[in-house]
Amino acid sequence: MTSRPGYPVDRSLLDRALAQARLSAYPPGQYVDQESFMRADEISELARHADIGPDTRLLDLCCGIAGPGRLIARESGCRYLGVDADARAIEIARRRAGELDCRFEVSVVPPVPPGPHDVVLLLETILAFPDKAGLVAEIVSVLGPSGRLACTVEQGAPLTEAERAAMPAADTVWPIPWRDLAALLRENGLRVRWRRDLTRAHAATVDALIASFDARRATIAELVGEQVIEELLVAHRWWSTWLHGGRIRKIALIAQRS
């Protein structure tokens, strides 16, 4: 669930095209280069509940340009490693990290970088993995004692054929029913110790992004093309429908090794 289209676009160009629209969509102080619906205070709250501090070894999977990861590193002083398959995104993340104690690697996930890691972070990313069982098993294998998975999850039934045909980049949209996720976590020795429903807040955020993208449509299209902005708007409208209607619920959670 991101503000990215469903086909390859130069990430630095896309970041420049969408930056002002994204900034305008969030309340003051809540935009931190995130490419998703999370606000800065929601990111910080998740990090606090995951007990991320100066000595924490934090692995941020599919970090993109790492806006949330850089926020967490700045606030906590943790030992941060961000991983993403997009080399241009990692290039942006490295540049913007400045003097922060952050490392970045270009790598496809899975596999997951070897640990041990104290916390593995997946923000609005689990959605993109159809094989969630394999992903969770790999994550648990690299967690240290009392290691935590800090993530957001899109809770709901799989997309229908009609939804899949209409949704851009539907091959990255794989919701999961809560009972299935809960069972998967238990089977891998993880206990949910904190959970928060973000559905209502993220419905408001996606609506603000739609309005902001639409208001700047011509300017964005000049940089990245009409197809990109059209795909973004279509995808975000689907998310607005799903979140407002309860078709999909957005959950933030911390699961810890038992």
**Span 42-52, pLDDT tens digits:** 999 999 999 99
The beta-carbon contacts of 226-229 under 8 Å, at least 24 apart in sequence, are: 227/5, 228/5, 228/9, 228/14, 228/17
CATH of 11-257, one of 3.40.50.150, 3.30.379.10, 3.40.50.10470, 3.30.1310.10: 3.40.50.150
pLDDT band at 9 (very low <50, low <70, confident <90, very high): confident
pLDDT at 257: 93
pLDDT band at 96 (very low <50, low <70, confident <90, very high): very high
Helix (H, G, I), strand (E, B) or coil at 154: strand
Q: Where are the domains of the chain?
A: 11-257
Question: How much is the pTM?
Answer: 0.93
How would DSSP label each residue in 64-129? TT-HHHHHHHHHH--EEEEEES-HHHHHHHHHHHTTSSEEEEE--SSSPPPS-EEEEEESS-GGG-
Give yes or no for a cis peptide into 8 (omega within 30° of 0): no
pLDDT at 10: 82
Encoded amino acid at 79, one letter: R
Q: Does the pLDDT value for residue 31 go beyond 90?
A: yes
pLDDT at 7: 46
pLDDT at 146: 94
Q: What is the mean pLDDT of the chain?
A: 95
Over residues 199-219, mean pLDDT: 97
Q: Does the pLDDT value for residue 98 go beyond 50?
A: yes
Q: Does the pLDDT value for residue 116 go beyond 70?
A: yes
Span 238-257, pLDDT tens digits = 999 999 999 999 999 999 99
Gyration radius of the chain over CA positions: 17
